[in-house]
C-alpha cells in the first residue's frame, strides 16, 4: 500500500473559468483572473486544478464545443497566459488537468467544416454522416435517437443532403472514433498538451466514443421525444480497445505523474471496474452518476424526493466494487463528488440552504471526503454557495435548459410555470453563477457586468465572511483536505457502511490495520439519538461541525469523525 499512486491522497479543485474571476471587466472569467486567485487555492490546500474547457470555441456550450484544440479562446486569454498560469501552479506545488472533449467537436471546427463540404471529402468519414431514412411523413432522420440537448440526435446538412449525428447540441457533431485518423489526431493533440506541461485530463463523456455502427433505433420512452439510443453508445463495442490504445499512444512511460479521470454518465459498476482496474491500463478513475440520479425521475428535470438509504447504499456499493480485493490489490478507484458545473449546488440539493447552511454544507463535505477515493471540490462549494434565484426563462443561460423549455412548452404544450419550477431545482445554471469572493455588488468577480447574474445572497455568502465566521465552511474544507493528506486511514482504509436502512443517520467506518475511524452524520434538521455512539465513548473527536460534539445525541446536521481509542 506504500506504493499507492500519488492521487490517492490528492484533492482536486474544479474551475469553471467563465464564472471564476474576471480580470478585464468584460464580465467573463479568464486565465488572468485565475492567476490572481491562486493564494485562495493554495490556502485551501488542494493538489490539482481541473480547468473546464478553455480552448477556442464559439461557446454554444461554454467551451464544450471546441473549434481549435491547439489554442486558447480569446475570451479566456492566450497561450502565453496559459503557460504563465501553468508555471504559477507548478511553482506552488499544484498540478493542472485539462478538460478533454473528444466525443464531439464544434460544428465550426475545420475538421467538421471540411467533412461537411462534400460526400467525398477526405474528412467525410471523421464524423457520422447518414442519408435520410424513408418515413411516414417523408424522408427523415436516420434513427430515432433523442439528443441530450435537442429533440433529435440528427441534423440535416443542406449542402450534401445527409444527416450528421450529435448526441448533444447540433453545434456539437460527434467524431467518428472508428476512423483511425481521428484517433491519431486526438492522441497527437493530447501529447502536445502533455509536452507543454499539463498533468492530465478529465475526459468528457468518454464512455460515449464507441458506437454500434449500425446505429439501430432505441426504445421509446413515455413522455419523451424520440428514442433512447444509449444502449448503442454507452460503453460501446470498442470502448476498452480505444482507451487502451490511447493509454499506449499517449500515457505509456509517463503516467505515474499524471492523473486521468473519465466522465462516464450511465456507467455501470461492472464497466467502472473495467475502466479503472490498474492492471488494464485505461483510466485512473471515473465520475459515475448513480448517486446524482437518485433524486430525479426518468426525465432529466423531474425532481424526486431523495431517499437517504438509497444514496448511502449506492455510494457504498461503489466503495465496495472499486475498493481493494481481499489480498489488498487495488481493483479500481472512485472519484468522489456531489457538485460540478452540471449539478445544482449540494447545500440546496442535499442540505438546508437557509437556517442550517453552514452545518449542512460541512456535514456533506465531511461525509464525502471521508469516503475512499479522490475528492473533487467545485468552485464555490468551499464557501457553501447555494442555488440561485431564477424568476423567468430569460434568467437561464444554459442551452440545455433553454432547449428543454422550448421543447416542453412549444412542442409538447407543457405548462411554462411547471417547467420553470423543474429548471429552478435542477438546472446546471445553478452551478454557474459567479464565485462570490466578497459581499460587494458583483461579489468581487468583475468590475463590469457579469455574463450571468451574481446570486443575490452574495452579502451573506462570500469568501471574505466565510473565512473567519464561526463554523466556517471554508475552514472546514481546509481541515478535511489536510486530513486526507496526513491520515493514512482516510486515504486507504477499508469502507464499511453501518445502519444502511436508517432514514436520517449516515454512519460508516474506515479501517486500516488496527486503526479505525467512525463517521456519523445527522442528515436532518432535528436532533438525533445515535445509540451506536455508546460503544465509542472513549474515542477521540478528529473533526466535527458543531460545538460540543460529545454524548449520543447529534444536533441538527451535526457530523462527527471519531478515532477509536
From the list 14-22, 92-100, 373-381, 397-405, the region that binds Ca ion by CB under 5 A is 14-22
Per rule CB under 6 A, count of chain residues that contact ligand ISL: 12
- Looking from the CA of 83 toward its CB, the CA atoms found within 13 Å total 6
Q: Indicate whether 484 belongs to the interface with ligand ISL (CB under 6 A).
A: no
Q: Judged by CB, which is closer to ligand ISL: 203, or 316?
A: 203
CA atoms of 51 and 378, how far apart (whole Å): 11
Say if CB 354 and CB 464 are below 8 A apart.
no
Check binding of 265 to ligand ISL (CB under 6 A).
Answer: yes
Collect all residues with Cβ–Cβ distance below 8 Å to 171 and sequence separation of at least 6: 58, 60, 61, 65, 106, 107, 108
- DSSP-derived 3-state class of residue 201: strand
User: What residue 205 binds from Ca ion, ligand ISL, none (CB within 5 to 8 A, per partner kind)?
Assistant: ligand ISL
> Exactly one of 35, 83, 148, 278 binds ligand ISL (CB under 6 A); which one?
148
- Minimum distance between the CB of residue 234 and ligand ISL, rounded to whole angstroms? 12
CB of 22 to Ca ion, least distance (A): 4
Instruction: Give the whole-angstrom CA distance, residue 100 versus residue 200.
Output: 9
Separation CA 296–CA 302 (nearest Å): 5
The catalytic residue among 263, 271, 295, 398 is 263
**Cβ–Cβ under 8 Å, residues 164 and 129:** yes
For ligand ISL, the binding residue among 64, 112, 177, 232 (CB under 6 A) is 64
The strand pair at 200-203 and 259-263 is best described as: parallel
For Ca ion, which stretch binds (CB under 5 A), given 29-37, 166-174, 251-259, 401-409?
A: 29-37
Residue 449 C-beta: closest distance to Ca ion, Å: 11
Q: Is 204 in the site for ligand ISL (CB under 6 A)?
A: yes
* From candidates 9, 26, 238, 414, binder to Ca ion by CB under 5 A: 26
Residue 549 backbone class (left: φ over 0; alpha: ψ -120 to 50; beta: rest): left
Asked if 102 interacts with ligand ISL (CB under 6 A), we say no
Q: Name the CA dihedral angle for 446, 452, 458, 461, rounded to a multiple of 10 degrees.
A: -110
Query: Smallest distance, Å, CB 529 to ligand ISL?
Result: 36
Q: Counting Cβ atoms within 10 Å, is residue 167 exposed (0-12), middle (13-18) or buried (19+)?
A: buried
Q: Which residue has the cell 441530450?
A: 148
Count of alpha carbons within 13 Å of 348, Cβ hemisphere only?
Answer: 19
Q: Which stretch binds Ca ion (CB under 5 A): 26-34, 184-192, 198-206, 266-274?
A: 26-34
**For Ca ion, the closer CB: 28 or 258:** 28
Contact at 8 Å (CB) between 419 and 408? Answer: yes
Which set of grid coordinates corresponds to residue 135?
418515413
C-alpha cell at 544: 466535527
Among positions 302-341, residues that touch ligand ISL (CB under 6 A) are 341
Q: How many residues bind Ca ion (CB under 5 A)?
A: 5
Answer for which of 8, 24, 117, 151 binds Ca ion (CB under 5 A) is: 24
| By CB under 5 A, residue 73 contacts Ca ion | no
Catalytic site residue from 162, 174, 204, 330:
204
Q: Is 516 in the site for ligand ISL (CB under 6 A)?
A: no
Kindly list the residues in this chain that would bind Ca ion in the complex (CB under 5 A).
22, 24, 26, 28, 30
Residues with catalytic roles: 204, 263
Kindly list the residues in this chain that would bind ligand ISL in the complex (CB under 6 A).
61, 64, 101, 148, 168, 204-205, 263, 265, 341-342, 428
Amino acid at each position: 500500500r506504500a506504493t499507492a499512486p500519488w492521487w490517492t491522497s490528492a484533492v482536486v479543485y474544479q474551475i469553471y473559468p467563465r464564472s471564476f474571476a474576471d480580470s478585464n471587466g468584460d464580465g467573463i472569467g479568464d486565465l488572468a483572473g485565475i492567476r490572481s486567485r491562486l493564494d485562495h487555492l493554495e490556502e485551501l490546500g488542494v493538489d490539482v486544478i481541473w480547468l473546464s474547457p478553455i480552448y477556442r470555441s464559439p461557446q454554444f456550450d461554454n467551451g464544450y464545443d471546441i473549434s481549435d484544440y491547439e489554442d486558447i479562446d480569446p475570451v479566456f486569454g492566450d497561450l502565453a497566459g496559459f503557460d504563465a498560469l501553468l508555471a504559477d501552479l507548478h511553482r506552488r506545488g499544484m498540478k493542472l488537468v485539462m478538460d478533454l472533449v473528444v466525443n464531439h467537436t464544434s460544428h465550426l471546427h475545420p475538421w467538421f467544416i471540411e467533412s461537411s463540404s462534400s460526400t467525398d471529402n477526405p474528412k467525410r468519414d471523421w464524423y457520422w454522416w447518414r442519408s435520410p431514412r424513408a418515413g411516414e411523413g417523408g424522408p427523415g432522420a436516420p434513427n430515432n435517437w433523442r439528443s441530450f440537448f435537442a429533440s433529435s440526435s440528427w441534423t440535416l446538412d443542406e449542402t450534401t443532403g445527409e444527416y450528421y449525428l450529435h448526441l448533444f447540441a447540433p453545434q456539437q457533431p460527434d467524431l467518428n472514433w472508428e476512423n483511425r485518423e481521428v484517433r491519431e489526431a486526438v492522441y497527437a493533440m493530447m501529447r502536445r498538451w502533455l509536452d507543454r506541461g499539463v498533468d492530465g485530463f478529465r475526459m468528457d463523456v468518454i464512455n460515449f466514443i464507441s458506437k454500434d455502427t449500425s446505429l439501430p433505433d432505441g426504445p421509446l420512452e413515455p413522455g419523451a421525444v424520440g428514442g433512447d439510443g444509449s444502449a448503442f453508445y454507452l460503453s460501446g463495442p470498442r470502448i476498452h480497445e480505444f482507451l487502451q490504445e490511447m493509454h499506449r499512444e499517449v500515457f505509456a512511460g509517463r503516467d505515474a505523474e499524471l492523473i486521468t479521470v473519465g466522465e462516464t454518465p450511465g456507467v455501470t459498476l461492472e464497466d467502472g471496474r473495467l475502466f479503472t482496474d490498474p492492471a488494464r491500463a485505461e483510466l485512473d478513475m471515473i465520475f459515475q452518476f448513480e448517486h446524482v440520479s437518485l433524486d430525479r425521475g426518468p426525465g432529466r428535470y423531474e425532481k424526486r424526493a431523495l431517499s437517504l438509504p438509497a444514496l448511502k447504499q449506492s455510494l457504498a456499493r461503489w466503495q465496495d466494487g472499486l475498493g481493494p480485493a481481499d489480498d489488498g490489490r487495488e481493483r479500481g478507484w472512485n472519484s468522489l463528488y456531489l457538485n460540478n458545473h452540471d449539478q445544482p449546488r449540494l447545500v440546496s440539493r442535499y442540505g438546508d440552504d437557509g437556517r442550517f447552511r453552514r452545518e449542512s454544507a460541512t456535514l456533506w463535505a465531511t461525509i464525502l471526503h471521508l469516503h475512499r477515493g479522490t475528492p473533487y471540490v467545485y468552485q464555490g462549494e468551499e464557501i457553501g454557495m447555494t442555488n440561485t434565484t431564477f424568476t423567468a426563462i430569460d434568467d437561464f443561460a444554459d442551452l440545455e435548459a433553454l432547449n428543454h423549455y422550448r421543447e416542453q412548452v412549444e412542442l409538447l404544450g407543457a405548462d411554462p410555470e411547471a417547467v420553470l419550477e423543474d429548471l429552478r431545482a435542477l438546472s446546471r445554471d445553478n452551478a454557474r453563477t459567479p464565485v462570490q469572493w466578497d459581499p460587494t455588488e458583483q461579489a468581487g468577480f468583475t468590475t463590469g457586468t457579469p455574463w450571468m447574474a451574481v446570486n443575490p445572497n452574495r452579502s451573506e455568502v462570500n469568501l471574505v465572511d466565510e473565512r473567519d465566521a464561526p463554523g466556517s465552511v471554508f475552514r472546514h474544507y481546509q481541515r478535511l483536505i489536510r486530513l486526507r493528506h496526513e491520515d493514512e486511514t482516510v486515504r486507504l482504509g477499508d469502507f464499511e457502511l453501518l445502519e444502511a436502512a436508517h432514514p436520517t443517520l449516515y454512519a460508516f467506518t474506515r479501517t486500516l490495520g488496527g486503526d479505525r475511524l467512525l463517521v456519523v452524520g445527522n442528515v436532518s434538521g432535528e436532533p438525533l439519538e445515535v445509540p451506536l455512539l455508546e460503544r465509542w465513548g472513549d474515542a477521540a473527536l478528529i473533526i466535527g461541525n458543531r460545538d460540543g460534539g460529545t454524548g449520543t445525541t447529534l444536533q441538527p446536521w451535526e457530523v462527527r469523525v471519531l478515532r477509536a481509542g
